[in-house]
Amino acid sequence: MTGFPPDFTWGVAASAYQVEGAASEDGRTPSIWDSFAPTADGSTGDVACDHYHRFAEDVALMAELGIDSYRLSVSWSRVVPDASGKPNPAGLDFYDRLLDALADNGISPAVNLFHWDLPQWAQDAGGWQQRDTVARFAEYAEVVVRRLGDRVGTWSTINEMFEHFALGHVTGEHAPGLSLPLDRAAAVAHNLLLASGRAAQVLREHGRLMGITSYAPARPHTDSDADREAAALYDVLQNRLFTDPVLLGRYPAEVEPLVEPFIAEGDLAVINTPPDLWGVNYYSINSVRATGGEVPLEVLAPEGFPRTAFGWAVAPEGLTEVLTTLHERYAEHLPPLVITENGCAYDDTVDAEGRCDDLERVVYLDEHLNAVRAAMNAGVDVRGYYVWSLLDNFEWAEGCTKRFGLVHVDFETQRRTPKTSFGWYRDRIAASR
C-alpha cells in the first residue's frame, strides 16, 4: 500500500534541449541555448543524451519502470526552423516516431511546447521582449497540434515561466543571457503569459490543458525589515506573478505598475484561459536576502537542512506547504494539481560492478511523496507525480555536472545504467496498483 489512489498518474519528465542532441540534424536550427553554450564545464546540448537517436532504448526503460505518462517538450527550432513559419517535416517526423513508440508501450505523452529553448531566429527579432513573439508562438502551437494532436491527451504551453524570465532576462545566468532592469523585464513576463494564453486557446480543443509553474516557499535570510521585504517580493515574483493572471485574471497588486505599460485590451482575458490541471514543479525552499542593488534580492539555500549536490536544501515539508497554500489561496479557481517536476541532483557514479547506488535520491523521493500524501490528506486534490528526470541530462548552466536521473548516462559512451532509485520507483509504482 502506498496511500495513493489506483488512478494516480505516475511519470517521468524531460525537455528537448536537455536530452535530444542532434542539434543540427534534419533541418533543426539553433536555439538560444545553442548560442549560449558551452557552459562552464565545456558542455553543450549538441549531443546531450542522444535521445533523438536512442529514443527507442529510452522508451523501453520507461516501460520497464512502469510509468503511466512521459512529460516531454518539443523543440520549436526543430519544428519551425526559420522566421517563415514553415513547418519542418523531418522535425515533426521525429516526434511522430517518439509518440508512436510511447503508444506502443502504453505510455501517455504529456507534451509541453516550450522549455526555454527559443529559436535563435525569434531571439534575433527581439525574443520575448517583443509582442510579435506571442503571435509566432501561437502559430507554432498550431503546427504542432495539427501534426501530433491525435496522440496527445495532455498539453502544456510553457514550462516554468519564472525561471526563464528571471534567469534568462534579469540575472543573465541562462540563455539568452540578458540582464534587464525589472521595468524592461516586465515585458518578458507579460509576453510569456500572453503567449501561453494564446497557445492555450489553440490547444484546449485537442486535449487537457495543464499549466506548469515552479514554486518555492520564501524565508527571510534574517529578521531585518529589508530581508522580510525582499522575501515578500520574491514570493510575489516566484509564487504568484505567473499564477495569479492565469487562475484569477489579474496581476498581483505589487507588480501591476511594472506590467501595466505592456497590457493591451483583452490580454488578461486571453491569459485567463482556464486550465484543466495545474502542474507544480518543486525542488526546495529558499532563503532571501535584500541586496540594495538593481536586482533587489539574492536567493540562498537556508541553513539547517541537508543539501543536494546543487546546494539546494532538502525540505519535503516545503512541498506540502506549496500544495496547501495553492489550495487555500486559489480555492475554487484552482484545478486539480499534478507534481510535474520533483527530483534532486547528486554526484552519482557507476561502480566496478556496474551499480549506481543513489540512496540519497531514494530517500529524497520517498520523503517528497510522503509530503504529497500529507497534502492530499489535508484535502488537496493531487492527481499525479512526475520525477525529474528519467535520464541524467544537460543541466542548463551546469552543463553535464549535475545528475538528476533515475538512469545514469555516461556522456562519452551514452551507456544507460538504471540507478537504485530506478528500481525503487518501479516498485513504488507497482505497489500503488
Run of H or E including 290? strand 286-290
160 labelled catalytic: yes
160, 163, 321, 360: which one is catalytic? 160
pTM score above 0.95: yes
For 368-375, what is the mean pLDDT?
99
User: Tell me: the pLDDT tens digits for 231-248?
Assistant: 999 999 999 999 999 999
d(CA 358, CA 182) in angstroms, rounded, equals 40
Least confident of 1-5, 71-75, 153-157, 317-321: 1-5
Chain mean position to CA 375? 21
C-alpha cell belonging to residue 349: 557514479
What's the pLDDT score for residue 293?
A: 87
Angle formed at CA 341 by CA 36 and CA 117, multiple of 5 degrees: 25
pLDDT at 345 over 80: yes
Report domain extents, the chain.
Answer: 9-431
Run of H or E including 212? strand 208-215
Are 421 and 406 in contact, with CB atoms under 8 Å apart?
yes
- Average of per-residue pLDDT values in the chain: 98
Backbone angles phi, psi at 316, to 5 degrees: -60, -30
Neighbours of 130 (CB within 10 A): 16
173 labelled catalytic: no
d(CA 24, CA 112) in angstroms, rounded, equals 21
User: Tell me: the pLDDT tens digits for 260-313?
Assistant: 999 999 999 999 999 999 999 999 999 999 999 888 999 999 999 999 999 999
Binding site residues, as ranges?
A: 18, 115, 159, 283, 388, 395-396
**Architecture label for domain 9-431:** Alpha-Beta Barrel (3.20)
pLDDT band of residue 3 (cuts 50, 70, 90) is confident
User: Tell me: the pLDDT tens digits for 205-231?
Assistant: 999 999 999 999 999 999 999 999 999
Q: Which residues pair with 218 in a beta bridge?
A: 286
d(CA 353, CA 191) in angstroms, rounded, equals 51
pLDDT at 329 over 50: yes
pLDDT at 428 over 70: yes
pLDDT at 129 over 60: yes
What's the pLDDT score for residue 294?
A: 82
For 41-57, what is the mean pLDDT?
97
Least confident of 36-50, 238-252, 349-363, 370-384: 36-50
pLDDT band of residue 2 (cuts 50, 70, 90) is low
For 158-178, what is the mean pLDDT?
98
20, 163, 321, 341: which one is catalytic? 341
Pairing of strands 297-300, 337-341: unpaired
* Sheet strands side by side (includes 286-290): 218-220, 286-290, 297-300
pLDDT at 321 over 60: yes
User: Tell me: the pLDDT tens digits for 104-116?
Assistant: 999 999 999 999 9
What's the pLDDT score for residue 362?
A: 99
Indicate the length of the chain as a whole number. Answer: 433
Binding site residues for substrate, as ranges?
A: 18, 115, 159, 283, 388, 395-396
C-alpha distances in Å from residue 215, one per residue of 62, 258, 282, 311 = 27, 21, 6, 17
d(CA 372, CA 380) in angstroms, rounded, equals 9
pLDDT at 1 over 60: no
